[in-house]
Amino acid sequence: MGKLNEQRVEYIVQAILTDYEDNRAINKRDIYNRPDKKAIIEIVEKLMMIIYPGYYGDNIYRSYSLKNNMSAAIEDVIYHLHKQIMVVLRYTLETENNSEVEERAETITYDFMEKIPQIRAFLDTDIQAAFDGDPAAKSKDEVILSYPGMYAISVYRIAHELFLLDVPMIPRIMTEHAHSVTGIDIHPGAEIGRFFFTDHGTGIVIGETTVIGEHVKIYQGVTLGGLSTKGGQKLKGIKRHPTLMDNVTVYSNSSILGGETVIEENVVVGGNAFVTESVARDSRVTVKAQELQVKNKR
């Protein structure tokens, strides 16, 4: 490298190092007091193994050692989850008392782990809904092992329980990991009932204050979103996403928007619909067919 290039490199290095010296959020360098994203994703994968003991984990596991393997996995999750919760609680707890933070993190960790049987019960209904709702499904094993929607809803149900326990940041890291893997974006704050099925799933967006009843089926590209986000942080805590009641089906690429929008029981929303008003029960929403023209070049 010539002298001129060396000077240019030195200038660039100094310029970037100087840019680190103010208090902007982008410059945070306290690596010991921030959550470890990689560790949180590893916790998700361990939890998937605990929730689906016959499907995730090493093939070398044998049925006679299932209890020992699961015991070790559960203890491992408790240890690492507690550690990460301690870190993120410092973003919200107004205390410098380490023992107080540790005690709160311990309580949350145990409360969450006690919810795992309940999470499994809900997911069992989601598996059933996917199998019953998709004629292409050959078995429930296929649903668990290959359906991206099943992975996304599994991670959501884990993250939702942590969200309900007021754990900051970790639930969102979990669901955004599932989003990056599956293309399905479910905010951990959404409320979703049993027997939920996302058919195909890619491109689905479910906002934070969405409420979904039981036996709801949503196809790819559906958005359950807010009418406007111009208010930014001023909208925090306000219900800005729709409510879908029991037995609703929403077909592909439809958008249902607004916190006051309620889709009542047994409604079918056809593809490509744009819904911003409530729909009464037992209705069918369709978009008026556009004229299709085919011109033969010959």
Domain co-membership, 67 together with 155: yes
**Domain of residue 283, CATH code:** 2.160.10.10
Residue 265 lies in a domain: yes
When mean pLDDT is compared across 86-90, 103-107, 117-121, 141-145, the lowest value belongs to 86-90
Residue 261 lies in a domain: yes
Domain co-membership, 173 together with 91: yes
Q: What is the pLDDT of residues 181-215, one digit of tens each?
A: 999 999 999 999 999 999 999 999 999 999 999 99
CA gap 6, 176 in Å, rounded: 41
Residue 123 lies in a domain: yes
Copy the structure tokens of residue 224: 């359950």
Task: Pick the closest to residue 51 from 153, 200, 204, 138 (CA basis).
Answer: 153
pLDDT on residue 278: 98
Residue 12 lies in a domain: no
- Among 151, 183, 215, give the residue marking a domain's end: 183
CB 274 within 8 A of CB 254: yes
Domain co-membership, 172 together with 227: no
Domain co-membership, 175 together with 268: no
CA gap 251, 218 in Å, rounded: 6
Residue 296 lies in a domain: no
CA distances from 267 to 35, 146, 216, 250, 290 (A): 42, 29, 10, 8, 22
Between residues 211 and 13, which one has the greater pLDDT?
A: 211
pLDDT on residue 54: 80
Domain co-membership, 62 together with 198: no
SS3 (DSSP) at 186: strand
CA gap 157, 116 in Å, rounded: 10
Residue 19 lies in a domain: no
Q: What is the pLDDT of residues 14-69, one digit of tens each?
A: 888 888 888 887 776 665 578 999 999 999 999 999 999 888 766 555 555 667 78
Domain co-membership, 206 together with 135: no
Domain co-membership, 105 together with 161: yes
- Among 183, 202, 223, give the residue marking a domain's end: 183
Chain mean position to CA 52: 18
Domain co-membership, 209 together with 103: no
- Among 183, 205, 232, give the residue marking a domain's end: 183
> Percent helix, strand and coil across the chain, each rounded to 5?
45, 10, 40
What percentage of the chain has pLDDT greater than the value 70?
A: 92
Domain co-membership, 145 together with 44: yes
Domain co-membership, 72 together with 176: yes
Domain co-membership, 178 together with 270: no
Domain co-membership, 128 together with 263: no
- Boundaries of domain holding 112: 30-183
Give the phi and the psi of residue 212 in degrees, each rounded to 5.
-125, 130
Q: What is the dihedral of CA 284, 191, 160, 150, to 10 degrees?
A: -20
Residue 294 lies in a domain: no
What percentage of the chain has pLDDT greater than the value 90?
A: 70
Mean pLDDT of 141-158: 97
**Number of structural domains found in the chain:** 2
**Domain of residue 83, CATH code:** 1.10.3130.10
Residue 15 lies in a domain: no
